[in-house]
C-alpha cells in the first residue's frame, strides 16, 4: 500500500476539504483520503501508486493549487495491523 501526501494551497474550510476528497475518490481507487485545511495537506492511502500527472490534473480542475507530492510505502499500524 502507498501513502501519498499532497500539499494544497487555497483550502479555507471543511467544504474545501470535502471538495478535494470527493474529486480524489471519484477519479482514483483509494482506501482512505483525508484533508486538512489548517495544515494545507491531503493524505491518500491506496493499494496502487497514483500517477503524479493525473493527480496534478485532477487537483487543477478543482481550482486549488497543488504544491509538493510525496509518496511512500504505507504499513498499517496498530494492534491488528502487524
Per residue of the chain (82 residues), what is the pLDDT tens digit? 999 999 999 999 999 999 999 999 999 999 999 999 999 999 999 999 999 999 999 999 999 999 999 999 998 877 665 5
**Positive/negative CA dihedral, 66, 40, 64, 51:** positive
Q: What pLDDT shows up at residue 80?
A: 64
Q: What pLDDT shows up at residue 56?
A: 94
Q: What pLDDT shows up at residue 60?
A: 94
Q: What pLDDT shows up at residue 79?
A: 67
Q: What pLDDT shows up at residue 77?
A: 75
On whether the CB atoms of residues 50 and 1 are closer than 8 A, the answer is no
- Reduced to 3 states, what is the DSSP secondary structure of residue 34? strand
Q: Name the E strands within 1-82.
A: 2-9, 32-36, 41-46, 65-73
SS3 content of the chain, % helix, strand, coil (to 5): 30, 35, 35
Amino acid at each position: 500500500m502507498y501513502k501519498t501526501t499532497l500539499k494544497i494551497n487555497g483550502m479555507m474550510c471543511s467544504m474545501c476539504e470535502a471538495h478535494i476528497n470527493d474529486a480524489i475518490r471519484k477519479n482514483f481507487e483509494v482506501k482512505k483520503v483525508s484533508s486538512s485545511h489548517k495544515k494545507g495537506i491531503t493524505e491518500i492511502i491506496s493499494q496502487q501508486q497514483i500517477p503524479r500527472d493525473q493527480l496534478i490534473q485532477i487537483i487543477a480542475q478543482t481550482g486549488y493549487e497543488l504544491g509538493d507530492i510525496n509518496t511512500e510505502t504505507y504499513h498499517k499500524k496498530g494492534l491488528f495491523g502487524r
